[in-house]
Amino acid sequence: MRKTAAPLVIPDAPKKGEATPALKSFEEDVKPPPAPEPKPKPSRLSSRMLPTIAVTVRLGETRYERMKRWGTEDRRVTNQEIIVAALDRFFDLNDEEREEVTASIRR
């Protein structure tokens, strides 16, 4: 049994050239979206909740093995946590101390 295709015409829709202006605008019923609430200032959240930027660090084999060994000795500390802690300590130094540390690494 062959089915007939559905008509491509909407019932009661005006044909081309027969359309008239609507009596009521649909836009009158549309309310503008509410203004977004201002974002609260960032609090002291953990780094897991704040947006982050990925950084690649190249380590020598000795440094990498020491970091890996220390983090896995029943401490359950990730490489990420170790590196972030080291950076925090570095930035707590004054400029002169930072220069000394940086110079010693370059030797």
Residue 64 has pLDDT above 90, yes or no: yes
- Write down the pTM of the prediction: 0.48
Domain-located, residue 55: no
User: 84 Cβ partners below 8 Å, 6+ apart?
Assistant: 47
- Give the pLDDT score at 19: 76
pLDDT of residue 28: 62
SS3 content of the chain, % helix, strand, coil (to 5): 40, 0, 60
Which domain does 101 fall in, by range? 78-107
For the cut 70, the answer to whether the pLDDT of residue 7 exceeds it is no
- Asked whether residue 88 is assigned to any structural domain, the reply reads yes
The answer to whether position 42 is within a domain reads no
Tell me if 47 is assigned to some domain: no
Q: Is residue 24 part of a domain?
A: no
**Position 107 in a domain:** yes
Terminal Cα-to-Cα distance of the chain (whole angstroms): 89
Q: What is the mean pLDDT of residues 1-23?
A: 74
Mean pLDDT of 11-35: 71
Place of tokens 């190249």: 58
Distances 86 to 13, 20, 27, 40 between C-alpha atoms, Å: 72, 73, 58, 29
Residue 44 has a pLDDT of: 59
Whether the per-residue pLDDT at 88 is higher than 70: the answer is: yes
pLDDT given for residue 47 in this prediction: 57
The residue behind tokens 């953990």 is 46
Summarize the confidence of residues 27-41 as an average pLDDT.
Answer: 71
Tokens of 9: 């015409």
The count of domains in the chain is 1
CA angle, 64 then 102 then 79, to 5°: 25
